[in-house]
């Protein structure tokens, strides 16, 4: 079993230059993600700079959870390249399992994945979504995942109300009563709109930041690899799909998975 940090160290091994940072490429192709020491042909790749000895290993996989795969060795133009995608001519180097940290300040939310509840605060969600240019189905999915639409819900971390706003967020958005459904939904919608602006419309990153905080997303360079956040993001996506179907909206694109 290979940890996330060890996997990145193996990728670094191909870049044996006396520098203070290494470049690892995060490559997307056909809905799959791979990491490599050079840009993969046929994939859309983004270079990520990783320090030689980081205090925290950056998460550049994204929200894929626990991954079992193979690190491959591949020769290209006289260079040895390591990649987690099985490219033509690549040879298996070693098997790995990428594990995520067990503890975090995040939470899985109080709501359970179930049938859409379109009757809950219907006009309030519609108005808040329209005012903040949000997908109504996504706003409802967040509320469903967070509180199950319980206006008086309080989490073990201190989040309150339908949208489970932390007290500091509620204050920032001028919420007088966090247990008033209208106040909570309006403030939650405004906060989510600000997160979408920050993350260029990326619903997954916005949901992750809503759950674990902007600082955690920045620290890991993507969805924090906390078990709670991964579970939460998966729950929100499942609910989003169900709400869009119930509201007769087009389906969402398929989620990314690790390349094989």
Q: State pLDDT tens for residues 94-113.
A: 887 776 555 556 777 888 89
Give the pLDDT confidence of 173-225 residue by residue, as tens digits. 999 999 999 999 999 999 999 999 999 999 999 999 999 988 888 888 888 88
Domain count of the fold of the chain = 2
Pair (139, 232) in one structural domain: yes
In a domain, 227, yes or no: yes
Measure the CA–CA gap between 44 and 31, rounded to whole angstroms.
Answer: 11
* Whole-number Å distance between alpha carbons of 100 and 67: 9
User: Across residues 225-251, what is the average pLDDT?
Assistant: 91
Quick one: average pLDDT of 17-29? 74
Q: Are residues 71 and 165 in the same domain?
A: no
What tokens does 48 get?
């990520």
Asked if residues 231 and 104 have their Cβ atoms less than 8 Å apart, the reply is no
Helical segments of 148-180, H only: 167-172
Query: Does residue 197 fall inside a structural domain?
Result: yes
Whether 127 and 91 share a structural domain: no
Note the Cα 248 to chain centre separation in Å.
25
* Confidence (pLDDT) at 193: 96
Residue whose C-alpha is closest to residue 242's, from 128, 112, 130: 112
| Domain termination site, one of 64, 98, 132 | 98
- Phi, psi (deg, nearest 5) at residue 96: -145, 155
151-160, 208-217, 251-260, range with the lowest pLDDT = 251-260
Tell me, yes or no, whether 177 lies in a domain: yes
Q: Is residue 88 domain-shared with residue 173, that is, in the same domain? A: no
Q: Are residues 90 and 128 in the same domain?
A: no
0.85 exceeded by the pTM? Answer: no
Within this chain, do residues 88 and 139 fall inside the same structural domain, yes or no?
no
Is 146 designated active site? Answer: yes
User: Based on the domain organization, do 214 and 137 belong to the same domain?
Assistant: yes
Give residue 217's domain range: 122-252
According to DSSP, residue 228 is labeled: H
131 & 236 share domain: yes
Note whether 76 and 39 are same-domain residues: yes
46, 73, 77, 146: which is the annotated catalytic residue?
146
Six-digit token pair at 27?
């490559």
Q: What is the pLDDT of residue 128?
A: 97
Q: What is the pLDDT of residue 1?
A: 46
What value does the mean pLDDT take over residues 130-143? 97
Residue 178 falls in which region: left (phi positive, over 0), alpha (psi -120 to 50) or beta: alpha
CA distance linking residue 204 with residue 223, whole number of Å: 8
The residue among 79, 104, 73, 51 whose CA lies nearest residue 216 is 104
List, for residues 36-77, the tens digit of each pLDDT value. Answer: 989 999 899 999 887 766 555 666 776 566 778 889 998 888
């Amino acid at each position: 079993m290979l940890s996330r940090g060890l996997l990145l160290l193996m990728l670094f091994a191909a870049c044996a230059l006396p520098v203070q940072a290494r470049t690892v490429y995060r490559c997307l192709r056909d809905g799959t993600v791979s990491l490599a020491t050079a840009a993969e042909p046929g994939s859309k790749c983004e270079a990520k700079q990783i320090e030689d000895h980081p205090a925290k290993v950056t998460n550049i996989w994204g929200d894929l959870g626990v991954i079992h795969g193979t690190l491959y060795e591949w020769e290209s133009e006289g260079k040895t390249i390591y990649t987690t995608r099985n490219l033509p001519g690549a040879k298996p180097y070693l098997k790995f399992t990428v594990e995520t940290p067990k503890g975090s300040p995040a939470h899985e939310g109080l709501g359970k994945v179930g049938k859409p509840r379109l009757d809950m605060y219907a006009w309030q969600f519609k108005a808040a979504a329209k005012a903040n240019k949000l997908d109504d189905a996504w706003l409802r999915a967040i509320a469903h995942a967070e509180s199950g639409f319980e206006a008086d819900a309080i989490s073990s971390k201190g989040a309150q109300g339908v949208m489970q706003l932390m007290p500091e967020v509620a204050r920032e958005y001028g919420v007088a009563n966090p247990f008033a459904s209208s106040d909570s939904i309006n403030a939650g919608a405004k906060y989510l709109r600000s997160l979408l602006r920050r993350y260029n419309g990326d619903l997954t990153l916005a949901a992750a930041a809503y759950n674990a905080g902007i600082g955690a997303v920045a620290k890991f360079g993507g969805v924090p690899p906390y078990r709670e956040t991964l579970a939460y993001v998966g729950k929100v996506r499942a609910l989003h799909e169900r709400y869009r179907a119930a509201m007769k909206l087009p389906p969402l694109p398929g989620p990314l998975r690790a390349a094989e």
